[in-house]
Structure 1
Amino acid sequence: MNTHKGSCLCGAVRFEVAGDLAPADACHCTMCRKLSGHYFASTDVPRDRLTVQGNDAVRWYQSSEKVRRGFCGTCGAQLFFDPPHRDSIAVAMGAFEGATGTHLHLHIFVADKGDYYEIADGLPQNPQ
């Protein structure tokens, strides 16, 4: 079985995903842009396939009634998008080490995207 490892910038939080990664999406909503500095690309991972080391360094921000976002309390790297009511958690694509074996397949919340860039990769774009 494939495993994919990743970490925050400083290494205080490390994680491993067992199995192949699902295609990623890019979220252009205002919250993702403010938290990441641009848009946020992530892949949904079943919770039972994600192992996190350094949980004590993970800080959670409740960004809405339905979602919390996990980041490293030391370096500030955004790592997780967690809707607790779902069986999966989104993991930041940029936090993986090495090749992921997946690809971006969708842009979401493009109605909120910044005016300073265009999306020209030909992938589907959902307004919400």
Structure 2
Amino acid sequence: MLAARESARMDETTSPENRTGGCDCGGVRYRIDGPVRQIIHCHCEPCRRITGNFMAATSAAVGDVSFEADAGLSWFERTPETRYGFCTSCGSLLFWAATDKADRLSITAGTLDDASGLQVELVLFGAELGDYSRSPEGCEVLPGDH
């Protein structure tokens, strides 16, 4: 659950301040015109199930994100507090949003066209890492979300 540590990390941003990205088939394309947070890995059960491994995401202010194509974008509401944005054509998971962080949008790192300058700074739910996964060296690892 990325929301737990999001506010503590919002000021830690990187350049370039203009980034683009999208899904595998091109049905969803987005643009970020503003700073983004460094990458957080989340190994909680919901993130593992929705991604098939773990969530690797940055985030941006909602107002900094615009869409060049979004006809294929659909949202899966997992709980009343969390939802995941994905492409209905190719299935790519692009976004994660939480109601308690309505001003921020988490963006899956693998959907960025250029992720230069971004590094993993935090691992959440490190106690739930599968035997097949390792935490990147040099980043903070929390057993849960705090």
Report the residue type matching 1:101 in the other structure: G
Alignment of 1:46 onto 2:57: no
> 1: CA distance between counterparts of 2:69 and 2:21?
12
**What 5-or-longer segments of structure 1 have no aligned partner?**
none
> 2: CA distance between counterparts of 1:18 and 1:100?
15
Relative to the length of structure 2, the TM-score reads 0.80
When residues 49 and 126 of structure 1 are mapped into structure 2, their CA distance, relative to the original with a 3 A threshold, is same
> 2: CA distance between counterparts of 1:14 and 1:90?
15
1:57 alignment counterpart: 72
Alignment of 1:66 onto 2:81: yes
Q: Is the 8 A contact 1:59 1:70 kept in 2?
A: yes
Report the residue type matching 1:26 in the other structure: H
1:92 alignment counterpart: 108
1:101 alignment counterpart: 117
| 1:22 positional shift | 1.4
Secondary structure (helix, strand or coil) at the match of 1:118 reads: coil
Q: How does 1:117-128 map to 2 (within 5 A)?
A: 117-128=133-144
> 2: CA distance between counterparts of 1:105 and 1:122?
8
Q: Is the 8 A contact 2:120 2:136 kept in 1?
A: no
| 1:120 positional shift | 4.9
Q: Is the 8 A contact 1:27 1:107 kept in 2?
A: yes
Moved over 3 A (4+): none
**What 5-or-longer segments of structure 2 have no aligned partner?**
1-15
1:20 alignment counterpart: 35
| 1:111 positional shift | 2.2
Higher mean alpha-carbon deviation, 53-62 vs 2-11, is at 53-62
Relative to the length of structure 1, the TM-score reads 0.90
| 1:100 positional shift | 3.3
* CA-atom RMSD in angstroms: 1.6
Report the residue type matching 2:91 in the other structure: G
1:11 alignment counterpart: 26
Alignment of 1:78 onto 2:84: no
Matched residue count: 128
% identical equivalent positions: 28
